Amino acid sequence: MLTVLICLTLLLILATLLPLSRHPHWIVRGMDFPRLQIAVIAAVLLLADLIFLDLQALIAWALISATTLCLLWQLWWILPYTPCWPKEVKTATESSQERQISILTSNVLTPNRNADALIKLIQQHQPDILVTLESDQWWEDQLNALDTDMPFSVKCPLDNLYGMHVYSKLPLEEPEICYLVEQDVPSIHASVVLKTGDKVRVHFIHPAPPSPTENPESAERDAELIVVAKSVVDSDQPIIVTGDLNDVAWSATTRLFRKISGLLDPRVGRGIYNTFHVDYPFLRWPLDHLFHSRHFVLISIQRLPSIGSDHFSLFTKLLFMPQHGEDQAGLEADDADHEWSEEIVEKQNVSQHDVPEPGR
């Protein structure tokens, strides 16, 4: 039993230490994803240590100490996405319809043909904006039924799992489809006009993940996140960034995005809102995100039922209240963060000036 516990502890230490490296290889960056699962494993292993080890032996306390440190380190990343943590975004105390903006973000999974399930969610929740990811021409044909109620749209059907569509009840100004980092991975940028006449700059993104079947490194994904972050940081516009980032909320790169952009995460202090993978409850993590500027407070955020995709849809309602939200604070970047962000974009030879600034 001692040998088994030693081997398991060594594996736990390896899984904990790997993400400390900034190496972009998918194996290293992939270890950011299962922090919750690793924390559960560490807790079980710690219990096993206390039950099976001779607590008079030095090796026992070495294993217990190592396991405890790994558990605490994993919890440090996860706890902000629980009700134990202070909320980063204030809860709205009123619900003025004219100041609301609601967005349903849905990675539909291209081979999934259950469009009716998504349409039913739209009819039930009545979002102001729908953004679909992985939507091809078939999905566009099915969702054309939305054109009457959501007459403003930007459509980019693709068969490579990176198609994207935006449908909106609110006017979209200066819409633009861009390929910021990779030639076959689009993003959509526009200015949304609220019922009050205020304009909100929106960025819909879906960078490719680091994986053995797509990009062997996270460099492309990280660069797209950072150029968008750099493009919004000095803007005083109301801003929303949403999409499937193919990165978890607690990863070093998503935290870097939040630090550089200055945007807020409404999940902090509320919950994890795991959106992937629908079919494997123990292997779920938050891949679909919505970040926003201090101009907004939160009405609600919820994960919606499955539509047959491998992702759950995310539905977020915000209230435009600049004065009420101006003292909200997110993460702050230091010199090391700025240096790292520069390294990321320089390696991919991209610039924040490539990102449209609608409404500016």
Q: Are 129 and 168 in contact (CB under 8 A)?
A: yes
Examine the domain organization and report whether 126 and 202 are in the same domain.
yes
Same domain, 15 and 75: yes
Which DSSP symbol is given to 304?
P
CA gap 67, 64 in Å, rounded: 5
Which residue is it, tokens 């919890």?
Answer: 75
Residues 107-145 have pLDDT tens digits of 999 999 999 999 999 999 999 999 999 999 999 999 999
The total number of structural domains that make up the chain: 2
In a domain, 359, yes or no: no
Please give the structure tokens belonging to residue 93: 């105390």
Whether residues 207 and 316 fall in one domain? yes
Are 50 and 124 contained in the same domain? no
**List of E strands, the chain:** 100-107, 129-133, 152-156, 164-168, 172-178, 187-193, 199-205, 239-244, 288-292, 296-303, 314-320
Query: Tens digit of pLDDT for each residue in 62-84?
Result: 999 999 999 999 999 999 999 99
Does residue 126 share a domain with residue 73?
A: no
What pLDDT, on a 0 to 100 scale, did the predictor assign at position 188? 98
Residues 112 and 218 in one domain: yes
Span 136-193, pLDDT tens digits: 999 999 999 999 999 999 999 999 999 999 999 999 999 999 999 999 999 999 999 9
One domain, residues 138 and 252: yes
Half-sphere exposure of 311 (CA within 13 A, CB side): 24
Q: What Cα–Cα distance (Å) separates residue 137 from each residue in 62, 108, 115, 159, 196?
A: 58, 13, 12, 8, 34
250 located within any domain = yes
- 88 in any annotated domain: no
Asked if residue 72 and residue 212 are part of one domain, the reply reads no
CATH number for the domain spanning 300: value is: 3.60.10.10
Q: Which two tokens stand for residue 342?
A: 């520069």
Expressed as residue numbers, the domain containing 245 is 97-354
Same domain assignment for residues 243 and 298: yes
Same domain, 159 and 189: yes
| Residues paired with residue 241 on neighbouring β-strands, in sequence order | 203, 291
Judgement on whether residues 134 and 196 belong to the same structural domain of the protein: yes
For residue 271, tell me if it sits in a domain.
Answer: yes
